[in-house]
């Protein structure tokens, strides 16, 4: 892969909608170039005999049945309020 160019930095900053000063662009060229070199190094690794894993710990994910409910949890939610009126939260008056 080629090195990161100033045009690529400008394109990335435009897509990310960030404004970069010239010294920041120069700094990013070096940083992104280093990252790109590391990625190129990883691409050269031979992983033919490596089994793909998601986690180093084998763990089956527990499954549960879906429970269909009406979703009416307002009594539980309102019960957590320090003060309530007419099944609603009661808050102090803010606007006179």
Q: Does residue 81 belong to any structural domain of this protein?
A: no
Range of the domain at 13: 6-44
Q: Does residue 15 belong to any structural domain of this protein?
A: yes
pLDDT recorded at residue 1: 47
Instruction: Write the CA distances from 50 to 45, 47, 59, integer angstroms.
Output: 11, 5, 19
Number of domains in the chain: 1
Spatial distance between the Cα atoms of 88 and 83, rounded to a whole number of angstroms: 9
pTM for the predicted model, two decimal places:
0.47
Low-confidence ranges of the chain (pLDDT < 70): 1-2
pLDDT recorded at residue 2: 64
Contact 74, 87 (CB under 8 A): yes
pLDDT recorded at residue 84: 86
Q: Does residue 33 belong to any structural domain of this protein?
A: yes
pLDDT recorded at residue 35: 94
């Amino acid at each position: 892969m080629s090195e990161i160019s100033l045009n690529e930095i400008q394109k990335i900053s435009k897509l990310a909608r960030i404004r970069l000063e010239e010294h920041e662009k120069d700094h990013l060229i070096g940083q992104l170039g280093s990252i790109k070199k590391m990625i190129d190094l990883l691409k050269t690794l031979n992983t033919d005999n490596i089994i793909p894993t998601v986690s180093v710990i084998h763990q089956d994910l527990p499954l549960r049945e879906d429970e269909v409910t009406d979703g009416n949890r307002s009594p539980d939610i309102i019960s957590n309020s320090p003060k309530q009126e007419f099944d609603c939260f009661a808050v102090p008056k803010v606007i006179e």
